[in-house]
């Protein structure tokens, strides 16, 4: 089989790329090892930058983000027993939207299928062949174990942090890597939001984040040891931990119907492109979750890559594809820094001294008590301008 662009991974990056390419009449095939049901029900991120929302709505990928999603014009930072609002409207005149990633995926899958996209679930990529040529190939297996081979002008790895495509791009060189001595214990519970906006709390017991998914469901996280078992706590114990980490607020409690433990990593691949094989999103980089940059960074890559592929495939102009890694990396490292900074400012380091704790409170005060400090956080949180505007 042949197509112009074969996209490995039907997450936000892969589906959005096929959607944007289609607007230029560029044909693609998207494959994913998971089922449609798995993709549309797995709970992932929740916050969309304003630029991400604009891309989704301007290109008609999702209208529901504006009706079902909720605009948030601030967050609360809580420490030393007090809450401080970071007002996005007042500082940078921008906002974010709370709209779960799996809802974005439902919208994208529906839009792609309605447009006649060749979108194949249950097809597992095994390797890329002829990566250095102008006709790279993806070798895969379908759900029944039958071999699938697709040749294309360009192979795009949008297949997440355990990317199969990455090896064909980076060889054995890997990337820049950092680990953290903690993880997040995440829960979903049946109760209305405890606060109108998200609360990022630095408490003496460690970090907690109070988020939401819908008017009847809350998403909450608390800092835990990386090896914590999801069944380590009873529901009652989970509420005790969460309540203690947001002193000053009484959280609305309800049945906890999902638990997960999220590992923290920072990663940037040394290479994002080899010839006609390109990486986007988590396949190329991973950020720790604090600050909600992961999905938004994937969208920024895709916007840039769409322009590069349009130039290559419609105008035979390779200069934008040549420039793609370098331009993408500028934003990637800004997002890496922001995610690292938010993480370190808000979490309790194992073995932290009293000095370290007090310094952290001083750091938080320099942010919340200064217009420039609040604007700095708000600018990064709501997202920098996308490059390669469509
Ligand atoms: C959520 C996750 C984040 O990492 C974050 O910074 C904000 C919200 C969430 O899942 O709701």
Instruction: Assess whether the C-beta atom of 186 lies below 6 angstroms from ligand 1.
Output: no
Ligand 1 mutation pick, 223, 289, 343, 345, max ligand atoms within 8 A of CB:
289
What is the DSSP pairing of strand 70-72 with strand 206-214?
Answer: unpaired
- pLDDT confidence of residue 173: 67
CA-closest residue to ligand 1 atom 7: 292
Instruction: Assess whether the C-beta atom of 290 lies below 6 angstroms from ligand 1.
Output: yes
Query: What tokens were used for 29?
Result: 């095939």
Ligand 1 centroid from CA 222, angstroms: 11
- pLDDT confidence of residue 43: 87
Here the ipTM equals: 0.97
Which residue from 184, 185, 166 is spatially nearest to 175, judged by alpha carbons? 166
Where does the chain show beta strands of DSSP type E? 2-8, 28-32, 47-49, 70-72, 74-79, 82-87, 96-98, 118-121, 124-129, 137-141, 147-157, 175-190, 199-203, 206-214, 217-224, 256-269, 273-274, 277-279, 285-286
Counting Cβ atoms within 10 Å, is residue 21 exposed (0-12), middle (13-18) or buried (19+)? buried
Ligand 1 centroid from CA 82, angstroms: 21
Instruction: Assess whether the C-beta atom of 377 lies below 6 angstroms from ligand 1.
Output: no
CA-closest residue to ligand 1 atom 3: 292
- CA 270 to chain centroid: 20
- pLDDT confidence of residue 39: 97
Domain ranges of the chain: 2-71+98-177+265-349
- pLDDT confidence of residue 390: 63
Is the Cβ–Cβ distance between 119 and 10 less than 8 Å?
A: yes
What is the pTM (predicted TM-score) of this model? 0.97
Instruction: Assess whether the C-beta atom of 47 lies below 6 angstroms from ligand 1.
Output: yes
Is the Cβ–Cβ distance between 266 and 225 less than 8 Å?
A: no
Instruction: Assess whether the C-beta atom of 294 lies below 6 angstroms from ligand 1.
Output: no
pLDDT tens sequence for the chain (390 residues): 999 999 999 999 999 999 999 999 999 999 999 999 999 999 888 999 999 999 999 999 999 999 999 999 999 999 999 999 999 999 999 999 999 999 999 999 999 999 999 999 999 999 999 998 999 999 999 999 999 999 999 999 999 999 999 999 998 768 999 999 999 999 999 999 999 999 999 999 999 999 999 999 999 999 999 999 999 999 999 999 999 999 999 999 999 999 999 999 999 999 999 999 999 999 999 999 999 999 999 999 999 999 999 999 999 999 999 999 999 999 999 999 999 999 999 999 999 999 999 999 999 999 999 999 999 999 999 999 988 666
- CA 250 to chain centroid: 29
Q: Which atom of ligand 1 is nearest to the CA of 213?
A: 11
2-71+98-177+265-349 CATH, one of 3.50.50.60, 3.30.360.10, 3.40.50.1220, 3.40.50.720: 3.50.50.60
Which residue from 162, 201, 220, 203 is spatially nearest to 43, judged by alpha carbons? 220
Q: What phi and psi values does residue 67 have, to the nearest 5 degrees?
A: -95, -40
CA-closest residue to ligand 1 atom 1: 46
Core vs surface per residue 103-130: b (16+ CB within 10 A) or e: bbbbbbbebbeeeebebbbebbbeebee
Ligand 1 centroid from CA 11, angstroms: 17
What is the DSSP pairing of strand 137-141 with strand 217-224?
Answer: unpaired
Instruction: Assess whether the C-beta atom of 5 lies below 6 angstroms from ligand 1.
Output: no
Is the Cβ–Cβ distance between 239 and 257 less than 8 Å?
A: no
């Amino acid at each position: 089989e042949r197509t112009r662009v074969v996209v490995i991974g039907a997450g936000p990056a892969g589906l959005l790329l096929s959607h944007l390419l289609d607007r230029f009449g560029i044909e693609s095939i998207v494959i994913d090892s998971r089922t449609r049901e798995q993709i549309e029900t797995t709970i992932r991120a929740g916050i969309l930058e304003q630029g991400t929302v604009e891309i989704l709505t301007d290109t008609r990928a999702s209208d529901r983000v504006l009706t079902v999603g909720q605009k948030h014009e601030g967050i609360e930072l809580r420490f030393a027993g007090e809450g401080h609002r970071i007002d996005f409207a007042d500082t940078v005149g921008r906002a974010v939207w709370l709209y779960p990633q799996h809802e974005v995926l439902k919208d994208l899958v529906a839009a792609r299928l309605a447009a006649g996209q060749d979108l194949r679930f249950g097809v597992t990529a095994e390797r890329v062949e002829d990566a250095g040529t102008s006709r790279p190939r993806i070798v895969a297996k379908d759900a029944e174990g039958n071999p699938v081979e697709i040749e294309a002008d360009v192979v795009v790895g949008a297949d997440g942090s355990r990317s199969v495509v990455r090896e064909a791009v980076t060889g054995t060189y890997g990337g820049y890597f950092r680990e953290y001595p903690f993880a997040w214990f995440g829960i979903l519970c049946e109760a209305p939001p405890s606060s109108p906006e998200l609360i990022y709390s630095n408490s003496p017991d460690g970090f907690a984040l109070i988020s939401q998914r819908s008017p009847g469901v809350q998403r909450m996280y608390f800092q835990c040891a990386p090896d914590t078992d999801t069944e380590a706590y009873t529901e009652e114990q989970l509420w005790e931990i969460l309540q203690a980490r947001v002193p000053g607020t009484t959280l609305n409690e309800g049945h906890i119907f999902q638990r997960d433990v999220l590992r923290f990593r920072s990663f940037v691949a040394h290479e994002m492109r080899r010839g006609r094989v390109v990486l986007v999103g988590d396949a190329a980089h991973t950020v720790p979750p604090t600050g909600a940059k992961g999905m938004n960074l994937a969208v920024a890559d895709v916007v840039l890559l769409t322009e590069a592929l349009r130039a290559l495939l419609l105008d035979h102009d390779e200069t934008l594809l040549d420039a793609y890694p370098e331009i993408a990396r500028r934003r990637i490292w800004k997002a890496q820094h922001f995610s690292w900074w938010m993480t370190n400012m808000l979490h309790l380091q194992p073995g932290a001294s009293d000095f370290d704790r007090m310094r952290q409170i001083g750091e938080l005060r320099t942010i919340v008590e200064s217009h420039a400090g609040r604007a700095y956080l708000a600018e990064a949180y709501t997202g920098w301008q996308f490059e390669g505007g469509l």
